């Protein structure tokens, strides 16, 4: 298996973040054009923006929490030469949970549903962490 293929789900995750930034710029522009922004507070206070902007902004913040752990885990696994089909599938599933989470967060923002997608992603990160641990232990046993 080509170890470098692990970076495809990483690139999709990065693309998701970039797409969210584009959506944020569009939402902010629309909100400004509609006069929905408190111009005196917008530089420092999130509540100056309408909900449509806040949902995207908060979603972007979430992309720099658990996904950062995912990036590190992938880099560790890659550097250990421990990429296999299981890691590939887990990585794609993690990214799928982030896409679902972003879709919910920027759409209906149904918190219980969003929490489910988030929790599945965290569990996948935990499994990948355990896989890193096992790869390190196996490497030390050689």
Instruction: Please write the tens of the pLDDT for every residue from 31-47.
Output: 999 999 988 888 888 78
The domain that holds 87 is classified in CATH as: 1.20.120.550
pLDDT of residue 141: 72
For residues 136 and 117, what is the distance between their CA atoms, to the nearest angstrom? 29
Residue 37 lies in domain: 3-141
Residue 120 has pLDDT above 80, yes or no: yes
Closest CA to 7 of 75, 100, 64: 75
Which backbone phi and psi does 44 adopt, to 5 degrees? -120, -10
Please report, in angstroms and rounded to a whole number, the separation of the first and last CA atoms in the chain: 22
Measured on CA atoms in the order 141, 86, 8, 13, is the torsion positive or negative? negative
Any idea what DSSP says for residue 48?
A: G
Number of separate domains in the chain: 1
Q: Which residue has the higher pLDDT, 104 or 48?
A: 104
What global pTM score does this model have?
0.92
Question: Can you list the alpha helix ranges (DSSP code H) found in 37-84?
Answer: 51-62, 66-79
pLDDT of residue 1: 78
Closest CA to 80 of 119, 135, 21, 125: 135
């Amino acid at each position: 298996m080509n170890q470098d293929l692990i970076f495809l789900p990483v690139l999709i995750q990065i693309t998701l973040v970039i797409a969210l930034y584009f959506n944020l710029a569009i939402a902010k522009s629309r909100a400004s054009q509609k006069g929905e922004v408190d111009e005196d507070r917008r530089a420092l206070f999130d509540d100056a923006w309408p909900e449509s902007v806040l949902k995207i902004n908060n979603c972007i913040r979430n992309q720099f929490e658990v996904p950062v752990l995912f990036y590190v885990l992938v880099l560790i696994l890659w550097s250990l030469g421990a990429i296999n089909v299981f890691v590939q599938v887990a990585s794609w599933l993690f990214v799928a949970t982030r896409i679902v989470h972003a879709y919910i967060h920027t759409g209906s923002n149904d918190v219980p549903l969003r929490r489910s997608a988030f929790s599945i992603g965290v569990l996948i990160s935990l499994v990948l962490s355990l896989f890193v641990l096992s790869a390190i232990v196996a490497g030390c046993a050689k």
